[in-house]
Structures are given as C-alpha cells and as structure tokens.
C-alpha cells in the first residue's frame, strides 16, 4: 500500500520531509510485489 508519509515520523531525530514513495510491506509477498 502506498501512503503519503513524512520521513520525520519514522526517525528518532524527527528529521525528513515528505517521502516520494513509501510502501509499507507486512509480508514477503508484499515486498516482492512492491519491487516488481
């Protein structure tokens, strides 16, 4: 699933802007599909 995400929400230092592409994969199959 592609979702709008701020990279600052994912770091301990709270730095980073909007991700160009962010995919949250929960299974190996989702990872494989995302990189294809």
pLDDT of amino acid 24:
85
Check residue 16 and give its pLDDT.
92
Q: Assign 23 to helix, strand or coil.
A: strand
The predicted pLDDT at position 23 comes to 85
**CA–CA dist 28, 34 (Å, integer):** 10
- Model pTM above 0.85: no
Residue 31 has pLDDT above 70, yes or no: yes
pLDDT at 12: 92
Report CA torsion sign: 25, 12, 18, 35: negative
Summarised one tens digit per residue, pLDDT across range 4-29 is 889 999 899 999 999 888 888 899 99
């Amino acid at each position: 699933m592609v979702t709008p995400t701020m990279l600052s929400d994912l770091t301990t230092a709270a730095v980073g802007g909007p991700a160009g592409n962010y995919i949250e994969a929960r299974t190996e199959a989702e990872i494989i599909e995302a990189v294809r």
